[in-house]
Structure 1
Amino acid sequence: PLGRPGRTRSVRVKGDWLVALPAGLSSRNAMIIGTAGFTAMLCVMALEDAGIRPQDGEIVVTGASGGVGSTAVALLHKLGYQVAAVSGRESTHGYLKSLGANRILSRDEFAESRPLEKQLWAGAIDTVGDKVLAKVLAQMNYGGCVAACGLAGGFALPTTVMPFILRNVRLQGVDSVMTPPARRAEAWARLVKDLPESFYAQAATEITLADAPKFADAIINNQVQGRTLVKIK
């Protein structure tokens, strides 16, 4: 049923909702990428559209051990960016380093912020929202861009207009659901080209369909890193 497709073996949808599997991408790897990886690619493209280049400075990725964050770290590293990954769990540090993070920051460092802080980041990919996003905005370089795609930490945004009107910072929302077909196709083509082959082994944990409820609880409790691939048969 369309209302609850997460654990079904097949789903009927409108044809124009679908994107053809790109050449060079297996169905298994496409599912490892999933919506999270697709969203990460859209975020990277948003930074590129804003003119953010590797030579401009560090990119900070919040919620870095999650599905979107993990893929973003791997993509940015492959494209030549210096990546600072934000994580709330020390156990993920080795994993994030293996994906290409140059340094790891504790989530606790982003708990509180002033309207403006020292300029640190050329760009940012935020999956958390709330106080973390407010802190990132306050630390952006002049002319920087934040691609915001998540609200894992809350939907509020306790910030001021100061980063925008004094530092020319751009806050770019990223939505994966209603992305136009041409942009979807471009993002998937980029994923085939820009996502390292090593990512699929590093980021994916394979489980059975029977394991799904247990892993769903673990995901909700922030006990899972990367992507979880459900093997149907």
Structure 2
Amino acid sequence: MPRAIMHMTQRDGALDLLKWLALLSMVLDHLRYVGYSLDLLYVPGRLAFPWFCLAMAANLARVRTVTTDGQWRYLGWLLLFSALSEIPYRMYIPDHDTLNVLPTLVMGLLVARGWQHGPVQSRLLAVVALVLAALFPQRLMFGFFGVLLPLAMLLVIQRPWYFGLLPGLVCLAANQWQVLYSAAWFGSGAAILGIVVCLIAPFSGLLLLRHAQGIQPPPMRRWAYALYPGHFLVLLALRQLIA
């Protein structure tokens, strides 16, 4: 079998592992709203978004996703579950002031694709996404820099390990909530650790992709999109149960 075909058909176990760990980090982060004082879960929660962005960059970098059909399907699934997730997100997260995270990933995908591929259509969509992110950063989870993070990951994914520091800075900028820096200034351990994790999350994800090739976790396929709105409903039920 030609090497290119093998690359297109074999599962990437390290990539599946990264997705599962990102999902676990996200669930841990959202457990903070279940009804108990679990502020320390904020720290592992800082891994979720950059690792999802890295998984997106890894998918874009693979040979099979160069096909136009595959790219549009990827975007279509994200758009569909962006809409389906908004109501469960608003039901579970108190005092929400942004959309759920999937619109940020949709716009990040458009920007990364526009950079990666030459068609005018892709580049125009990337420009539109950047303009919208610049105009309405307060409505997007992780804001303007969150939209840039998948592109930052794509730019370094095949470079030496120390280039992982660049998306680390973008990740920190995406988490620039005033309360985070204020809390760190006043000595909050969770805030200080959160800043550190933001800086090292892309680097650690890149190491995982490169050195966990022998691991074969259950493959995360299209059904996994439903886990995002689904986990909000499960945690909401748990909060009602323990209230």
Q: TM-score range by the shorter chain?
A: 0.3 to 0.5
The TM-score with structure 2 as length reference comes to: 0.34
The structure that is helix-richer by fraction is: 2
Q: Give the structure, 1 or 2, with the largest relative contact order (CA under 8 Å, sep 6 or more).
A: 2
